[in-house]
Structure 1
């Protein structure tokens, strides 16, 4: 009996508005989790079902998220979340923020390798497609880098930043996030 295909659709993540920038950042993390889960299902789907239209679409969905949204998310953090914490008195928190900044560089490098694998999947004709051990390792390494990174941001860095950012700083953060994404910035009163 043939196995049924695993669902390879990217389920919609919770929505948040730019008027609440930390809720928006949290929603982005939820989308990262969903995209990484899709990446894992995609790898299993290739083993079970081969490279079909579902696999190619899943690869394109993961590519789209990490090519477009993830870099903007990292910019949000590096422009608005990390700087006030780097100026703070908490030595351990400053060290954690510096590690998160290094994580961004490491994730960018890992994405370059993972991206090549996903491009190969997205462009593959229907039929069997066995990933090499190096290709599987590239996808797994990329996914693993995000796991611990988000734990530190969600559990420590975001709450610390929220505690020190003023209302005008949060409003400026929201406006900048919208502007960099091409969302119309409402006029300030």
Structure 2
């Protein structure tokens, strides 16, 4: 007598796997949305933010700082922030092609540590600006009646809540 008791085992195994699909669709869709959002946001907002700081805010603060110790501190901070901008941009440039693939739903081998590193570095960069550089900038620019210097700080502060809200 033939034993047919296991004849559907392969079918059942495939059906079990197929049954996992609905639970996987929402995270996959969320991954595409997150990747698409950060790709649209990062280059336009973050790179523009860096450019505005370097073009307007940094020179205004440096130019209005008191000669000597204060100016040396400001120069040191600006140099460090500018180096961080380049490093963050370099990290982003390495991740962006992979993120574009994720946004399109394509399979990609993305390094989770690279993402974690970029996120951590940018958050630390933003924290330093918020807690150290911007208060010093406000103090320095507050002593100067130059409207362009005030505009540099104003531009920075206007973009900051939007920028940090997405990170």
In the TM superposition, residue 84 of structure 1 has moved relative to its aligned partner by 3.5
Q: Relative contact order: is structure 1 or structure 2 higher (C-alpha 8 Å, sep ≥ 6)? A: 2
Which one of 135, 140, 152 corresponds to residue 116 of structure 2? 140
Aligned equivalent of 1:51 = 28
Q: Matched residues in 2 for 1:147 and 1:173: separation? A: 22
Q: Are the equivalent residues in 2 in contact too, given 1:85–1:97 (CA < 8 A)?
A: no
The separation in 2 between residues aligned to 1:175 and 1:154, in whole angstroms, is: 14
Alignment of 1:20-99 (within 5 A): 50-52=27-29, 54-87=30-63, 88=65, 89=68, 90=70, 91-99=72-80
Structure 2-normalised TM-score?
0.63
* Deviation of 1:136 (Å): 1.3
The corresponding residue for 2:131 is 155
Go from structure 1 to structure 2 and tell me whether the alpha carbon gap of 1:153 and 1:176 turns closer, same or farther (over 3 Å shift). Answer: closer
Instruction: Report the CA distance between 1:69 and its aligned residue.
Output: 0.8
Q: Where does residue 14 of structure 1 map in the other structure?
A: none
Unaligned runs of 5+ in 2: 1-19, 157-167
Q: CA deviation at 1:173?
A: 3.4
| Bigger-Rg structure (1/2) | 2
User: Equivalent residue of 1:124, what SS?
Assistant: coil
CA distance in 2, matches of 1:122, 1:65: 13
Task: Give 1:92 deviation, angstroms.
Answer: 3.0
**1:67-102 superposed Cα distances (whole Å, 9 cap, x missing partner):** 211111111211222123434332233212210010
Structure 1 residue 109 and structure 2 residue 90: aligned?
yes
CA contact (8 A) 2:54 2:82 kept: yes
Q: How far, CA to CA, are the matches of 2:82 and 2:51 in structure 1?
A: 10
Give me the whole-angstrom Cα distance separating, in 1, the residues matched to 2:77 and 2:43.
25
Distance 2:79 2:51 in 1: 14
Higher mean C-alpha displacement, 75-84 vs 152-161: 75-84
